[in-house]
Structure 1
Amino acid sequence: MAEESRNREAFIPYRRSDIIKLCLDDDRLNAAETQKFKDFCEILSSYYHFRFHKTLEIIKDNYVPFNPNADVEALVPPSFEKYDEMESTVVDGFEHILERANYIRLPEYDIKQSLGQTSLIDLRTEVDFDEFDKVVCYYRGDSYKTITQKKFFFWKKERRIDIFERIVLLIKFKEAAYFGAKKEQTKELKFIPGKMYLYFYKNIPKLDIDLLFPNVTTSMTWKDRLLFGVPAIGAAIPLILKALPNILLLVAAILFALNAQPLVEQLEVEENQARNIMPVLVATLSLGMALGGFAFKQYSNYKSKRIKFQKDVTETLFFKNLGNNDSVFQTFIDLAEEEECKEIILVYYHLLTSNNSLKPEELDARIEAWMQKKVGTTINFDINGPLDNLANIRGKLITNDVSEENTPEIPLLEYDNQGFCNVLPLNDAKKVIDYVWDNAFNYNGISL
């Protein structure tokens, strides 16, 4: 790989623990504040772990009738209305966590654009999008690599390949009735109608996205067809010339049977040979064996070519696969939780340590510049998400002189009249999140 480039995205390519360490390495917090900040990050992370775990359980419960690998089943099959509702819950919930994980939606138009084009795997592909009820595709890491490919013996050529560093695909197939109407045998399909498939891959060339679909069909390109067809024609010509006497004898026999003797004379075939059944039979068998053997050889060559194509596809996808079906949900819950917490920690830290008040756009620019200075990473920080999260975390600061019922709830973040952002100090922020955490369940009678 000679060159690599990445477009700016909201994804933060460091672990949450690394982000916390970068904040503490600023030395803007004293020893007491450092411990309080660690405590704040710990309880914040626990709170979001709980929230995302709840989202995961909802998705898993609703995914059961769509899971092609399910080893459990519902006690009562869902009604048609409930079935549609469960499908929407899975898709909407998955899109939610994908966006929280800072993945970007890829329009279906861009997916279809890859059809008929080749990247690393020289194939002609087709995908029937009419077989899908739902297609959802997200990616992260829009970059490119410059690779060196071998071309014709010792000649090498450098080529730029645009890739998605991570790509996730959700597909919901239509029901069995649709495929039955097409006269297709369900047992011969590579998928189960009515089921929902999820695929998670790394480093997939943009023009090879179509290879991720389980219903993709492949065939040789025009170049491969020429390389296959021209030698076949070349091998067929001497075979035909060698078999020409037998071919003429068969034609003469047919013409005699049709009483077309004048045409037989033009072929210069002896009449007694054309009327004798044994020479005709020998010629027929000889011609059939020659042509049959040639056809079988060419068909075997074609099958070998297709097997090589399928091997290239299988090896490419096998080593780039990161997860399938229900395991993908768990993976992205962890990614979404990690991204959400990193963003909130960065926003809270910079507002807490800033010497002057900041508006959202100023805070966004400061965090981006800070990341560039600290680790040399250019990101397009998503400021609105973490600001909304901090503003929506509301709790109570319980004191001895005021009862809990009379204590109002306050958010971790508020805006003043001029649009500046203000966060609670560390002690109060910890108490607010602790209150929310303590009241995550309402069994104690407290209504949140």
Structure 2
Amino acid sequence: MATYENREAFIPYRRRDIIRLCLEDGQLNSFDTKKFQDFCHILSAYYHFSFHQTMEIIKDNYVQFNPNTDIKIINKLTPEQYDEMESQVVNKFHHILERANYISLPRSIIKKALETKSLINLKSEVNFDDFDRCLCYYRGDTIKKISIKKFLFWRQEKTIEIFERIVLLIKFKEAAYFHGKKIKVKDLNFTPGKMYLYFYKDIPKSDIDLLFPNVTTSMTWKDRLLFGIPAIGAAIPLILRALPNILLLIAAILIFLNAQPLVEDLDIEQSKVRDLMPVLVATLSLGMALGGFAFKQYSKYKSKKIQFQKKVSDTLFFSNLANNDGVFQMLIDLAEEEECKEIILVYYHLLTSPVPLTPEQLDSRVEEWMEKKLGTTINFDIHGPLDNLANIRGKVHQNCNEVENTPEVPLLTYDEQGYCQLLSLDDSKAVIDYVWDNAFKYNAIAL
């Protein structure tokens, strides 16, 4: 079984299209075609119900951490209950993202991406100490070419690395932490103690910082040099031109302080100093000159900051797929779809193979089939669907009177040589039908 560093396990096609391709492959006769369709239908229904249960667990536990909820909690939680609910949400978050073939992004890679120069040349920082939890998953690590406006009509083409999909879970620390930092909670754009989820598309690696609610910006060292050196250079002739006015202002202050000898050292006519109007003019001229210069320099920095804020707004608006509880809804659908596609592909290739297959051989067979049929290269996750098939157990029987004595059997087993052994289509449907019928046992009569 080959592994590929540049391939992902995600199958970029709909479940219905995968089923249709299997049926059009010509390996099943007319009778088995109908049975295979029925098997796919009941399998999909079974996993839809299974993931619905997962969603109910998430809803029951996330309500305590949802910043957008309008549901009131009746009973006050103990610290143990609070921690257990948080663990349930996080565990299910991991579960559904792995089922949806998303890849965990380590904190080290996140920090490295934050250190990468962004398209807008501003220094951005994210304080990870503000978080109790920070989890990130992605799918689709690709390269994209974009066109950037430089000057007037000149545009520069640039190649950037992007994540096609990225999911972020952030649990902020409680309010006491921010009070300890002398930060007013009302000034924060998030609620301490709550859990925020974000789901985005097509995010450049260098722009991951835009996704964090507590991102802050400042000038880079280059900006500070470009800001400071020209400022000093422009300020020197400005000060030299304003020097007579500065001296006049100083002399007026000294006279006010009764420091007559010092005024004489400045070599300024006493009449000019004692005349209030020249002093006021000097003060006004100096203030306007220095103030205008400072405003001009600061405006350049503010312009960059506005550009950054617009970039944040555009990213949050145009690239956002879902937030908070809406993220779970979307991920459940994605995980259900991926789980079913993988099992259907494994089941079909075991069913149509003329010879027994080991898991490694089956893995290669599925990958080659996908490349041949669709021109798509994937790193198929063989162990997940095989485990799922082996864990689906039910009873196969011909007579209803024999149900109680019939042992449960799995859809998939292995022989002594490690080859996969699959139940027939009829028996497979019977097993899943049995599992489905016994999902609830409210009826007094056992099936």
Report the TM-score range of the alignment, normalised by the length of the smaller protein.
Answer: over 0.9
Q: In the alignment, does 2:23 pair up with 1:24?
A: yes
The gaps in structure 1 that reach 5 residues or longer are 1-5
Identity %: 72
**Contact 2:120/2:307, CA 8 A, preserved across alignment:** no
CA distance, structure 1, for counterparts of residue 393 and residue 400 of structure 2: 21
Q: Displacement of 1:313 after TM fit?
A: 1.9
Structure 1 window deviating more from structure 2 (121-130 vs 382-391): it is: 121-130
Q: CA 1:328–1:233 in 2, change beyond 3 Å: closer, same or farther?
A: same
Q: What SS class does the counterpart of residue 214 from structure 1 fall into?
A: coil
Residue 210 of structure 1, CA deviation: 1.5
> Contact 1:124/1:219 (CA < 8 Å) preserved in 2?
yes
Aligned length: 443
Q: Distance in 2 between matches of 1:22 and 1:322?
A: 29
- Which residue does the alignment assign to 2:129? 130
List per-residue Cα deviations over 1:53-86 (Å, max 9, x = no partner).
0000100110011000001122112111100110
Q: Match for 1:317: what amino acid?
A: L
Give the whole-Å Cα distance in 2 for the aligned partners of 1:154 and 1:290: 35
C-alpha distance in 1 between matches for 2:392 and 2:334: 21
Question: Which is further off, 257-266 or 90-99?
Answer: 257-266
CA shift at 1:308, angstroms?
2.5
CA distance in 1, matches of 2:350, 2:285: 90
Question: What one-letter code is carried by the residue in structure 1 that aligns with 2:310?
Answer: K
Measure, in 1, the Cα distance between the counterparts of 2:390 and 2:29: 26
- Find out whether 1:395 has 2:405 as its counterpart: no
Instruction: Tell me the equivalent position of 1:89.
Output: 88
Task: Tell me the distance in 1 between the aligned counterparts of 2:392 and 2:446.
Answer: 15
Matches within 5 A, 1:21-170: 21-152=20-151, 156-170=155-169
Q: Which stretch shifts more, 203-212 or 184-193?
A: 203-212
Secondary structure, counterpart of 1:28 in structure 2: coil
> Which amino acid in 1 is paired with 2:83?
D
1:121, 1:313 within 8 Å by CA — same for their partners in 2? no
Residue segments in structure 2 that go unaligned for 5+ positions in a row = none
Structure 1 residue matching 2:115: 3-state secondary structure:
coil
Q: Deviations over 1:152-204 (max 9, x none)?
A: 45655443211111000000000000001111011110100000000001111
Distance 1:337 1:102 in 2: 11
CA contact (8 A) 1:120 1:205 kept: no
- Match for residue 304 of structure 2? 305
Deviation of residue 269 (structure 1)?
1.6
2:134/2:168 contact within 8 Å kept:
yes
The secondary structure found in structure 2 opposite 1:333 is: helix
Superposed displacement of residue 208, structure 1: 1.4
State the 1:220 CA deviation: 3.3
Which stretch has the larger CA shift, 276-285 or 417-426?
276-285
**CA gap 1:154/1:222 in 2 versus in 1, 3 angstroms:** farther
Q: Does residue 337 of structure 1 match 2:336?
A: yes
Question: TM-score by structure 2 length?
Answer: 0.92
**Does structure 2 retain, via aligned residues, the 8 Å contact 1:119–1:161?**
no
Alpha carbons of structure 1 residues 103 and 446: separation in structure 2 relative to 1, 3 Å: farther
Q: State the shift of 1:263 in Å.
A: 5.7
Which piece of structure 1 moves more, 425-434 or 221-230? 221-230
CA contact (8 A) 1:7 1:143 kept: no
The range that moved more, 75-84 or 420-429, is 75-84
Matched, 1:358 2:357: yes
Counterparts of 1:299 and 1:224, CA distance in 2: 11
Question: Which one is further off, 137-146 or 110-119?
Answer: 110-119
Q: CA deviation at 1:287?
A: 2.7
Aligned residue number for residue 8 of structure 2: 9
Task: Find the aligned partners of 1:136 and 1:323 in 2 and give their Cα distance.
Answer: 16
Moved more, 261-270 or 430-439: 261-270
- Partner residue in 2 for 1:3: none
Contact 2:200 2:321 in 1 (8 A): yes
Deviation at 1:293, TM superposition (A): 4.3
Contact 2:122–2:304 (Cα < 8 Å) also in 1? no
**How many angstroms apart in 2 are the aligned matches of 1:267 and 1:41?**
97
Deviates more, 1:288-297 or 1:7-16: 288-297
Tell me the TM-score normalised to structure 1 length.
Answer: 0.92
What secondary structure does 1:66 align onto? coil
Q: Which moved more, 1:258-267 or 1:141-150?
A: 258-267
Separation in 2, partners of 1:295, 1:142: 44
Aligned equivalent of 1:371: 370
Amino acid at match of 2:380: F
Contact 1:117 1:124 in 2 (8 A): no
| Residue number in structure 1 paired with 2:346 | 347
SS class of match (2:63):
helix
Cα distance in 1 between the residues matched to 2:71 and 2:343: 38
**1:247 match:** 246
Equivalent pair of 1:415/1:422 in contact (CA under 8 Å): yes
**Counterpart amino acid of 1:109?**
S
Residue type at the aligned position of 2:143? Y
Aligned amino acid, residue 280 of structure 1 = V
CA contact (8 A) 1:103 1:140 kept: yes
> C-alpha separation between the residues in 2 aligned to 1:400 and 1:57?
36
> Are the structure 2 counterparts of residues 152 and 225 from structure 1 closer, same or farther at C-alpha, using a change threshold of 3 Å?
farther
When the two chains are superposed, the root-mean-square deviation of aligned CA atoms in Å is 2.4
Secondary structure (helix, strand or coil) at the match of 1:135 reads strand
1:297 deviation in Å?
Answer: 4.7
Q: Secondary structure at the match of 2:72?
A: coil
Question: Using the alignment, how far apart are the partners of 1:293 and 1:119 within structure 2?
Answer: 31
2:130, 2:206 → 1: CA distance? 21
Q: How much does 1:292 deviate? A: 3.5
Deviates more, 1:253-262 or 1:107-116: 253-262
| 1:447 shift after superposition | 8.4
